[in-house]
Amino acid sequence: MRSTIRRLKQNQRIRIAPGLGLALLTLGLVACQSPLARIDARTAALLKQQSAILGSDAATPRTGFRDQKPLTRKSRAYRPPDTANTPDIKFTPANEARDVEKRLERFHKASSASGEPMRLTLAEVLRIAQDGSRDFRQAEEDYILAAVRLLTEQHRWGPRFFADSSLQATGSGTDGSFQHAVDIINSLRVTKRLPYGGQVEARLIWNATEQLRRQATGRYRQSSSLVLSGDIPLLRGGGLSARESIIQSERSLVYAARTFERFRRQLVLDVASDYFNLVASAKRIENQRKQLEGLKALYEQTSELVDAGRLRAFQKQLARSQVLGAQSSLASQEESFQLQLDRFKVRLALSIDQPIEIIPMQLTIPEPDTTIEAATLAALTYRLDLQNQRDRVDDQRRAVEIARNQLLPDLNLAGNVTVPTDPGVREGGLGLEPEDLNYSASMTLGLPLDREIERLSLRSALINAERAERNYEQTRDTVVVDARGAMRGVELARLRLNLAEQQVIINENRLEEQKARSDEVNPQAVVDTETDLNSARNARDQAASDLKVAVLRYLLQTGQLRVTRDGWISPPEGMGEVTESEMPNDQDSTYPQDQEKPK
């Protein structure tokens, strides 16, 4: 048997079918090219094309992802996972007489590594959020996956090439006499889906047979054949319903592009809100320190008056109690600010040990002068999430038509044409003989005797279509409510800022008058004034931050917020340039230096 195989190789010089040779050549070319690089290039081109449709400010996701190293047999992924839950846990009780203030100070220092802190302005924060935050990467990957799914579906509808090779040994025996044969079959085929249902296929088959036990008629034989076949549905499964998979994939990519762009805008609002809250928290701490200094001065003054016999002793204890309360509030605010700062690092995907410094910046963004009707019309026109909800209604309507198509009878047209080589020649090669072709054609009709499941599917599709319309109506009404609420929110934030600024001025004048008449004023009245002044300052600073956030929220809820590729705000026509500038050194003023405070 071995000698026969060796002779077969020598005589035929290891005959390789044309289909097998082409398959090996294709495999070699593909092996020389990185498949991920090719996929990334196609995905990037598709995303760039889709993002350009949304506008010049729309960002194109990055498609360069690192590859994962192959797992070894000893990898943890192939072993049952370990669980850390041992009972050997040690707990060390703290000394209640410890110096708590120093311990808190050490904890705050330990939470950030030593080194130069990263100075973050609003523009830098927005850039980092649009570049490396985990939420942004997640949204970016969702967009990319939608593009990959479309590329997958487009490939299914394009011509697909396959090359198969098989080696088969067979034997048959008669009264102890056995005959053995080796078959080498190579098949090169290409398939293509038809636009309105069905599939056509072309196959080139090369077959070589060698009988291992030599007979008078048993010799090496080789033949080839070209086969063309097709299957086309004319009723059920045909028409536009056959293209549902690629139609939905194309529409889903549009939805993903809108969702990604909507996320970028929402991220600007969320990160800017966190930034302004941090600035407001830092100002509250500064205001609390000012109040604490004032209370300490009041305590010293009250102590002197008590020692002089001009005030009763309980007034000194009252002033001391106010100082302790202010110290406790300051410690709580500092701890809250540190926790807020750490969570902000997590949001920006910064290292927890990275020290950062929030630089208070003023955002120069004008407040809108609009009406209820204009805000509502803008939201209904430009909100990307509303457009997605509206277009999904069409998806459900299309699903109803597909379900109706499944109720039709089956009427399929099939055909097959085979062109062989000359059967009288032992080595046919590629010399096809059209005169010896074989063909077959058939039409199959399947009567719709059992369509109960399809009718149930149609009812489900109709229900889902009605549900989609209700969801769209609810989303539309919610968008209107959000737009109107955001517009009123801007006016409310401006009102609160004006009132808070007036309260600060009133309490500052009140405190100055009480300090000028310290001999006549009850210390408790001064304490009340200090508390009211601190509350007014905190309310003013928070209102100033809320006003900027309210304007951004109005732009987002009405669909007018645009974000540049580096994360900055792209103003709509008529707004003017949106800029940032450092706040004045005077912590009591939240207004630009060239703007007067309200009276």
pLDDT tens for each residue of 286-300? 888 888 888 888 888
**Structure confidence at residue 125 (pLDDT):** 93
Q: Are 510 and 574 in contact (CB under 8 A)?
A: no
Using CA atoms, how far apart are residues 412 and 157, in angstroms rounded to an integer? 20
With H, G, I as helix, E, B as strand and everything else as coil, classify residue 34: coil
What does residue 408 show for φ and ψ, rounded to 5 degrees?
Answer: -75, 160
DSSP H helices in 558-586 = none
**Residue-level pLDDT at 15:** 40
Q: How far apart are CA 183 and CA 8, in angstroms?
A: 12
CA atoms within 13 A on the CB side of 562: 15
Whole-number Å distance between alpha carbons of 252 and 244? 12
pLDDT, position 237? 92
Structure confidence at residue 435 (pLDDT): 81
Instruction: Report d(CA 40, CA 198) in Å as an integer.
Output: 31
Q: What is the pLDDT of residue 13?
A: 36
pTM of the model: 0.83
pLDDT digits (tens, 9 = 90+) for 31-72: 445 667 888 888 888 888 888 888 767 788 877 777 778 887
245-394+459-582 topology per CATH: Outer membrane efflux proteins (OEP) (1.20.1600)
Tokens standing for 495? 């009102």
Beta-bridge partners for 249: none
Three-class SS of residue 408?
A: coil
Residue ranges, the chain, pLDDT below 50: 1-27, 29-32, 216, 587-599
Element (H, E) at 206: strand 199-211
Which residues partner with 192 through β-bridges?
A: 200
d(CA 271, CA 135) in angstroms, rounded, equals 11
Element (H, E) at 179: strand 177-193
C-beta of residue 218 within 8 angstroms of C-beta of residue 211: yes
Whether 412 contacts 230, CB under 8 Å: no
Question: Where exactly are the structural domains of the chain?
Answer: 1-33+160-193+198-236+410-447, 245-394+459-582
Q: What pLDDT score was predicted for residue 535?
A: 87
Using CA atoms, how far apart are residues 426 and 219, in angstroms rounded to an integer? Answer: 8
Given this model, what pLDDT does residue 593 score?
30
Q: Which two tokens stand for residue 116?
A: 């130069």
- pLDDT score, position 99: 67
- If phi > 0 it is left, if psi is from -120 to 50 it is alpha, else beta; for residue 166 that is beta
> Which residues make Cβ contacts (< 8 Å) with residue 418, sequence separation at least 6?
225, 226, 227, 228, 437, 438, 439
The pLDDT score that the predictor gives to residue 221 is 67
User: What's the confidence (pLDDT) of residue 214?
Assistant: 52
Look up residue 100 and give its two tokens. 């708590």
Contact criterion met (CB below 8 Å) for 235 and 411: yes
User: How is residue 142 written in tokens?
Assistant: 């969702």
Contacts of 342 (CB under 8 A, 6+ apart): 111, 352
